Structure 1
Amino acid sequence: MPRIQLGSYVEQFITWLLRTIPGVLDGISAVVTVVVDALTAVLAGPPFYVWVAILTVAALLVRGWGLAVFTLIGFLLISSLDLWQEAMETLGVVIVAAVIATAIGVPLGIWAARQRTTSAVLRPILDFMQTTPVFVYLIPAVFFFGIGAVPGVVATTIFSIPPAVRLTELGIRGVDPEVVEAAHAFGAHPRQILREVQLPMALPSIMAGINQVIMLALSMVVVAGLAGAGGLGSTVVSAVTQLDIATGFEGGLAVVIVAIFLDRFTAALAQRPSQGLWSRLRPRRAAAPAGQATEATPAQPAPVPS
C-alpha cells in the first residue's frame, strides 16, 4: 500500500497560508506583541512590593485571610528567588492567552448549548484539540509567527480553548428547565433569560472552565519557553537543558505559586452572589410551594364568642 503523504499536504497548506495572508499574520503578531509588552510593563514596572500589596488586598477582599496570607508569602518568595520579572512576564502571557481563550470559548459554549448541531460539530474538534500533544501546537505557531512571545500566546490560546467551551455548554445545559420556564412566564426575552438566569446559574461551571483555561495556559507557557516566549518557561527550559536542579525547582515552584493564586482567586469570584432576574426569581420560586401549601390547607373556622 503506498504511503499517504499527509504531512507534505499540511506543509503545502501552511506555505500557502504564509504566502496568502502575510498581512493578517503580521497584524496579529503586532497586536499581540503590543498587548503583552504593555501588560508586562504594567506588572513588572512598579517595585515588587506594590503589586504584592495590591494582590494581597485583592485576595483578602475576594477570598479571605487564607488566600491573602498565601499570596503575601508566595509572591515575596518569588521576589526573594530573583524571579519576579520572569513571573510577571509569565503572568502577562497567561492573562492575555486566558482572556482570548475565554472570549472565544464561552460564546462557543453558549452557542453549542443552544444548538445541538453546533455541539455535534464542535465535539470532535474539541476532542482533537485536547488530545493533540502540546508540542505540536508550537510547530505551526513558530512557522506563522517566528520566535518570541507571540507564538507562545497563540499556541497557549488554542490549547486552552476546549475546557471553556465544554464547561460553559455543560453549565447552561444543566440549568433547571423550570427556572427557564418561570422566566418565560414573567415575559423575559430569550437574551435576558440567557444573561440574567442561565449565565448566573451556570457561573460555577463557567468559572471552573476558566480555572482549567488558566491551568492549561500555565502548563503551555512553560512549554512555550522552547519557542522563546520568555518568563518562567524559559527559566525551566534552560534548567532542564543544563540539568540545573536548583534553578528548575525554583522556576517550577514559582509557576505553582502563580497557578494556585489564579485558581483560588477565580474560584472565589464564582462564589459571589449574583444579581439580576435570577435573584428576583429565587424568592418567588421559594414562596410558591408555601403558597400552594397554604391553599391546600383548609381554613379553620373562627371561634364562636361565648
Structure 2
Amino acid sequence: MKEFAPIPLGEWVSDGIDRLTREYATAFDSISFVIYELIDALQSGLHAIPAPWFIVLLSLLAVLAAGWRRPGSWGLGLFTLVGLGLVWNLRLWDDLITTLSLVLASEALVLLVGIPLGIASAKSAMVERILRPVLDVMQTMPAFVYLVPAVIFFGLGLVPGVISTTIFALPPLIRLTSLGIRQVPRELVEAALAFGATWWQLLTKVQVPVALPAIMAGVNQSIMLGLSMVVIAAMIGAGGLGNVVLEGITQLDVGKGFVGGLAVVILAIVLDRITQSMGKIYQQKGKPR
C-alpha cells in the first residue's frame, strides 16, 4: 500500500516567518521602538518614586479602591503594606518594578486592542464568528509557544516579553467586553434610541457604563494571565521577578526560587484585589447617565 507523503507544514510556517522578517523588518523595528519607549517610561516613572512612598501610596490606593468604609478594605491596605514591604526587605524591589512595568505595558496594549475588538464582536455577528475560533486557539495554545514568534520578530529582551504577554492575556478581555455589551438590557438601549441618542452616545453613555463590571472582570483576568506570562517570558530575557524564579530553577536553589515566587504571588494578590474591588464599585455605581 502506497504511503502518503507528510505535509511539510512546519517548513511552510518557517518559510512564511522568514519572509515576514525580511519584508517587514522596518515595521517590526518601529513596533519594537514604541514598546521599548513605553516600558522605559514606565520603569523611569516607577523608579522615580522612593520604595517606601510607593508602598504607602499603593496601600492607600488599595484602601480607596476597596472603599475605605467597607469591611475588609483596611485589611487589604495592611496586606499591601506588609507584602510589598517584605518584597523591599528581600531586596527584590527593582525586579518587582521591572515586572510591574511589563505587566502595565502589556495591559495598556491589551486594553488598546481588546476593548475595541470586544465592542466590535458584540455589535457584529460576523466579527464574533471570526473572532471565536481565533480566541479559542489563543486560549488553548501552550504559553511557551508564544515565545517563539516573539523572539523571531523582536529578538530577546523586554519587547518580546511584552508582545507575548499581550497576546496571551488578550482573549479574556475581548470575550468579557463582548459579553458585557450584549447583556445590556434591551429596554435601556431602546429608551436611549427613543430620546435620539447617536450610536456613539448609546455606546459611551449606556452600553459601556452598564458593561463596566464585565469589562473590569476582563481586566482582572488579563492582568493575572499577564503576570503568569511575565514569569515565563524571563526565559527570553524579560527579566524581573521571573528571572529570579528562573535562576532558582536553573541553579537548583530552592530558597531563591521560593522567594521569587513569593514576590510574584504578593504582587498578583495586590493587583487582583484592587481590580476586583474596582469592579465591585462599578457594579454598584456603573449606571447609565
- Tell me by how many angstroms 1:9 deviates: 0.7
**1:176 corresponds to which residue?**
185
Deviations 1:203-222 (A, max 9, x none): 11111101111011000000
Aligned to 1:105: 114
Residue type at the aligned position of 2:160: P
- Give per-residue Cα distances to partners, 1:183-211, cap 9 Å, x unaligned: 12222222111111111111111111011
Aligned to 2:220: 211
1:103 positional shift: 1.2
Per-residue CA deviation, residues 250-270 of structure 1 (Å, 9 max, x unaligned), is 111111111111111122222
Alignment of 1:21 with 2:30, yes or no, is no
Please provide the CA RMSD for this pair: 1.3
2:197 to 164, 183, 188: 188
Match of 2:135 among 123, 126, 138: 126
Equivalence for 1:287: none
**TM-score, normalization by structure 2:** 0.93
Q: Deviations over 1:130-150 (max 9, x none)?
A: 111110000010011111011
Q: The residue matched to 1:202 in structure 2 has which SS?
A: helix
Contact 1:222/1:232 (<8 A) preserved: yes
SS at match of 1:62: helix
Deviations along 1:57-89, one digit per CA (max 9) or x if unpaired, are: 211222131221111011001101111000000
Amino acid at match of 1:94: V
Which residue in the other structure is 1:226 paired with? 235
Structure 2 counterpart of 1:167, from 176, 179, 186: 176
Once the two structures are TM-superposed, the CA of residue 32 in structure 1 deviates from its matched residue by: 1.3
1:233, CA displacement in angstroms?
A: 0.8
Structure 1 residue 42: Cα displacement: 1.7
In the aligned structure 2, how far is the partner of 1:5 from the partner of 1:25? 27
The Cα of 1:238 is off from its aligned counterpart by 1.1
In structure 2, how many angstroms separate the alpha carbons of the residues matched to 1:137 and 1:197? 37
Percent of matched pairs sharing the same residue: 49
Distance between the aligned counterparts of 2:190 and 2:91, measured in 1? 56
CA contact (8 A) 2:158 2:239 kept: yes
Corresponding residue for residue 100 of structure 2: 91
Counterpart of 1:10 in structure 2 is: 13
Superposition map of 1:140-159 within 5 A? 140-159=149-168
Is 2:275 the counterpart of 1:266? yes
The alignment covers a number of residue pairs equal to 278
TM-score when normalising by structure 1: 0.88
Contact 2:210 2:286 in 1 (8 A): no
Residue number in structure 1 paired with 2:81: 72
- Partners of 1:244 and 1:5 in 2: how far apart? 42
Rg (Cα) greater in structure: 1
Counterpart CA distance in 1 for 2:100 and 2:255 is 22
Determine the C-alpha separation between the residues in 2 that align with 1:131 and 1:94: 21
For each residue in 1:143-195, what CA deviation from the matched residue of structure 2 results, as whole angstroms up to 9, or x when unmatched? 11111011100000111110010000011111111111111222222211111
Q: Which residue of the other structure, out of 55, 58, 61, is the alignment partner of 2:61?
A: 58
Gapped runs of 5+ residues in structure 2? 67-72
2:212 touches 2:286 (CA, 8 Å); kept in 1?
no
Aligned counterpart for 1:40 among listed residues 38, 43, 53: 43
- How far 1:129 moved relative to its partner? 0.7
Look up the SS of the partner of 2:96 in the other structure: helix
